[in-house]
Amino acid sequence: MLGPAILAASRSDKMRRIVSAAPVTKPVVNRFIPGETVDQVIPIVEDLTAKGLEVTLDVVGEDITTVEQSHAARDAYLQLIEQLAHLGLGETAEMSVKLSMFGQALEGGHELALANVRPVVEAAAAIGTTVTLDAEDHTTLDSMFAIHEELRRDFPQTGCVIQAYLFRTEADARRLAAAGSRVRIVKGAYKEPAEVAYQDKAEIDKAYVRILKILMEGEGYPMIGSHDPRLIAIGQELARQAGRKLDEYEFQMLYGIRSEEHLRLAAEGHRMRVYTAYGTDWYGYFMRRLAEKPANLLFFLRSMITK
Ligand code: FDA
């Protein structure tokens, strides 16, 4: 029952100030967000790729409130892409972006987010890599899918994320499971009402399997975003049943979570991509990681008390 309370706190400015100012927060944050600058995250990318892992990089940030911030988000990604190109990491590192960081919620936000994300997708394509659009709360998704479709006209390799907890997602998966598409399936990390989303964990897992089956039997490239051992095993089995080779789908997990499993899957010959977030605006991302596993919150609170 802690999860929904933490997710509510993830959107509270008051809680943001309290959590960000606490002296013990930083070491706990670092487990999930291992750097604040490009220079700090590049060695992590090099280390992961040296271990046979692939990477998707997320400059943390969301729900920005000014047009200037949306331009700063675009520029942060462009700077990152420049560094990746310089170091020859364009082949193994792709990018994940949240459209709310590109201005999607501002007035005229759909067009603004599209105008900001397009140069990022263009720059990524120029160095041989690509961008995946993260899925945020359900009210943003029609705009996200429309931007995805628009970008795919010129950059068909642009990916998107679908969330198993939403009732709409099976239909989205059918639409997206077409040739050339790249779709990451995840359980879903936001606080969603019962009118639009399953609330029960078992129901979400069952929906995840149904949707993954649609993706595996389709013609696109499924990206299995989960740390759940049961879903990983089911993913392998569904891929086998669909006759997919090891390079015709991939696993994705978050940096700092089940790291030994990243290595195990890579050692088995799977493509394994580590979602690596960095930057200073880490609050929302960090709180969702706490909400996913209450033990993380207890660890965090304990370190506050024992400090
Ligand atoms: P589940 O939550 O059942 O966890 C399975 C096991 O994994 C746990 O028992 C625990 O061992 C471990 N684990 C999971 N989360 C942990 C945590 N925070 N700390 C420590 N251990 C943890 N969501 C979204 O709404 N939009 C998006 O765009 C994305 N993008 C995304 C990318 C990638 C690569 C991943 C892996 C996940 C996302 N998510 C996301 C988050 C996703 O929706 C979901 O909240 C988390 O992946 C947790 O769900 P699991 O499938 O891991 O299962």
Residue type, 67: V
**What percentage of the chain exceeds 90 in pLDDT?**
80
CB 95 within 8 A of CB 119: no
Atom 18 of ligand 1: nearest residue by CA position: 289
- How many Cβ atoms from other residues are within 10 Å of residue 201's Cβ? 11
Q: What single letter denotes the amino acid at residue 157? A: Q
pLDDT tens per residue, range 153-210: 999 999 999 999 999 999 999 999 998 999 999 999 999 999 999 999 999 999 999 9
Mind listing the pLDDT tens digit for each residue in 79-110?
999 999 999 988 889 999 999 999 999 999 99
Q: Where are the domains of the chain?
A: 55-273
In this prediction the pTM is 0.96
Residues 49-79 have pLDDT tens digits of 999 999 999 999 998 999 999 999 999 999 9
User: Does the Cβ of 33 fall within 6 Å of ligand 1?
Assistant: no
Q: Is 273's C-beta closer than 6 angstroms to any atom of ligand 1?
A: no
Closest ligand 1 atom to 134 CA: 28
Architecture of domain 55-273: Alpha-Beta Barrel (3.20)
Distances (CA, A) of 167 to 22, 132, 164, 232, 307: 38, 22, 8, 22, 44
pLDDT more than 70, % of the chain? 98
* C-beta of 293 in contact with ligand 1 (< 6 A): yes
Q: Give pLDDT tens digits for 244-267.
A: 999 999 999 999 999 999 999 999
